[in-house]
Structure 1
C-alpha cells in the first residue's frame, strides 16, 4: 500500500508529478513534526525520571520488601476453622464499620458543600456568562488556589485550628472540591447553547433569570455526573485524611500501621476497597443514566 493519493489520469505529466512531489514533501514534514514531538516527550520523560531519582535498579533490588509486607498483613485462614479465623481477623469490625460510615459522611457532606460552592461560583467564572471581567478573573484564581492545595494539607491546617475530629476533614474536602468542581462546572457552562440565554435576556430577564431558566437546565445533568465522580474520589481522600487526625477510618488505619498490627491493616484496607468498589459501581450506573437524560437520542 502506498501513501500517495491517486491522481486523475487526465492531468498532464508535469502537473501530476508536481502534485505528487508537493504531497510527498507535506507528508515528510508531518512525519518530521511527529517524530520531533515524540523525541521531545521521551526526552522530557527521561529528564524527569533523572530529576526524580527514579532508579529501576533500586526498585528491583527492594521490591521484595513490598511483597514481604503484603505477606505479613495477610491473615492465616484455614478451612477447618474458617469462621473462627475470620472472626479473629475482624475482631474490631464494629468500631471499623462506625469509622467507615464516618468517612463516608465526611466525604458526602464535603462533596455537597463543595459542590454547592462550585455551582455558585462557576457561572461568574465562565467566559460566556461572566459579564464582569475582574470578578471572573478573581473567581478563577480563587478556584485555582482551592484545587491546588491538597486536601490533606487543608485537613492538617484545620486540625491545628479546630482540633482532632471529622469537622476538619469536612471543611478540607469541601474547599478542595469547590476548586476542582468549579473548574469542571464553568467549562461545562462555556459550552452551552447561548440562544436560550439570549432569549431570556431579550425578554427583560435579569442575569440570574438567565442562569436559572436558560443555563442551569442545560448543565444540571453534567453537574450531577461530575459531583458523583467527585464523591467517589472524596471517599478515598477522606480515608487518607484520617492520617492527620481529621476523623474517619484513616485514623484507625494509620494507628494499626504504626503499631504493627498487621492483620488489622489488611482488614481495614479490604473494607475501604470494598466500599470504594460499591460506590464506583453505583456512581457509574447513575452517571450513565444522567448522560442518557442529557443527550437523548
Structure 2
C-alpha cells in the first residue's frame, strides 16, 4: 500500500512558500539585470559606431530603389523579359565562377590536410609533448584570427593579382578553423585502441594513424565539407581585393553602376552556392548516419 501524502503544518508551509517566492523574485531580478546590461551595451555600441536611426529611416528608400534597379535593363525593361541581354557575359562569368570554385576547393583541401596534421599535435590526449600542444594551438588561433580578405590582401601585395592569393588565404584560415574543430574531435575518441597500438612499441605517427585516425575520419570529412560550403561563399568576394574569381567582375559592376550585371552575377553565385550547400549537406548527413549506425 502507498503511504499517505505528507501534510505540512501551516507555519512551515508558509515558510516554504516565502522561500519559493524569494527564489522566483531573485531569478526575475537577474533576468531584468541581464536585460538592462544588454540594452546598455547596445546603446553604447550604437553611439560608438555612430548608428543614426534617423538617417537609416530617411535613406531606407534608396536601398529599396537600388535593389529595384538591379532588375532593370538599360533599355528600361525588366531583366527576365530579355535573358540574352541580361546574361550577355555568361561565358566569362561562368569561367570566373569556375575559378572561384577551384580557389575554394584547393584552399579547402590544403587547409584541411594541414589541419588534420596539426589537430593531432594540438589534442591533449595524443599530442607528443605539452609544449608542442601549446605552440600548435596558438598557431591555429593566429591562422583563424584574421579575416580571409586580410590574408588575401597581404598575398596580393606579395604575389600579385590572381587566384594564388585567394587559395593561400583560404588555406590558412581553413587550417586554423578546421584545426580547432579537428583536435576537439580527437580529444573525444576512445583511447583504448590508441593505448593498444602504443603498447606494441609503435611510433607516434603509427599510433595516430592506426589507433586514432579511423575513429575521427567521418567527422573530419563532415567538417571539411561544411567548411567547403563556407569557402565557396568566401571565395566569391576574393576578387574584391584582386585575388581572382567572380568577385572581380562583381566589384567592377558595382563600382560602374552596371545594375543588371550585378544582379546577373549575384543570381549565378546564389544558385551555385545553393547547389553546393544541398549536395554537401546530403553527403554530410550520410556520413553522420553511417558513423552513428557503426
Q: Specify if TM > 0.5.
A: yes
Q: CA deviation at 1:204?
A: 3.0
Q: Match for residue 3 of structure 1?
A: none
Q: Match for residue 249 of structure 2?
A: 252
Q: CA deviation at 1:24?
A: 3.9
CA distance in 2 between counterparts of 1:99 and 1:194 reads 47
Q: Which runs of 5+ in 1 are unaligned?
A: 1-6
Q: Pairwise mapping of residues 186-201 of structure 1 onto structure 2 (< 5 A)?
A: 186-201=183-198
Mean alpha-carbon deviation: is it higher for 244-253 or for 47-56?
A: 47-56
Do the aligned partners of residues 14 and 147 (structure 1) sit closer, same or farther apart at CA in structure 2, a change above 3 Å counting? same
3-state SS of paired residue (1:38)? helix
3-state SS of paired residue (1:295)? helix
Do the aligned partners of residues 287 and 91 (structure 1) sit closer, same or farther apart at CA in structure 2, a change above 3 Å counting? same
Q: Match for residue 115 of structure 2?
A: 118
Mean alpha-carbon deviation: is it higher for 173-182 or for 54-63?
A: 54-63
CA distance in 2 between counterparts of 1:46 and 1:82 reads 42
Do 2:239 and 2:245's aligned partners in 1 also have CA atoms closer than 8 Å?
yes
Is 1:129 matched up with 2:126? yes
Q: Match for residue 63 of structure 2?
A: 66
Q: Match for residue 174 of structure 1?
A: 171
Q: Match for residue 272 of structure 2?
A: 275
Mean alpha-carbon deviation: is it higher for 252-261 or for 86-95?
A: 252-261
Q: Deviations over 1:181-201 (max 9, x none)?
A: 111111112222223222322
Cα RMSD (Å): 2.5
Q: Match for residue 287 of structure 2?
A: 290
Q: Match for residue 160 of structure 1?
A: 157
Q: CA deviation at 1:45?
A: 2.4
Mean alpha-carbon deviation: is it higher for 98-107 or for 118-127?
A: 118-127
Is 1:226 matched up with 2:223? yes
CA distance in 2 between counterparts of 1:214 and 1:30 reads 48
Q: Match for residue 141 of structure 1?
A: 138
Q: Pairwise mapping of residues 57-96 of structure 1 onto structure 2 (< 5 A)?
A: 57-76=54-73, 85-96=82-93
Q: CA deviation at 1:146?
A: 0.8
Do the aligned partners of residues 222 and 10 (structure 1) sit closer, same or farther apart at CA in structure 2, a change above 3 Å counting? same
Q: Deviations over 1:221-259 (max 9, x none)?
A: 111111111111111111111111111111111111222
Q: Deviations over 1:150-189 (max 9, x none)?
A: 1111111111111111111111110111111111111112
CA distance in 1 between counterparts of 2:92 and 2:289 reads 40
CA distance in 1 between counterparts of 2:8 and 2:128 reads 56
Do 1:197 and 1:215's aligned partners in 2 also have CA atoms closer than 8 Å?
yes
Q: CA deviation at 1:28?
A: 3.4
Do 1:77 and 1:85's aligned partners in 2 also have CA atoms closer than 8 Å?
no
Per the normalisation by structure 1, the TM-score is 0.89
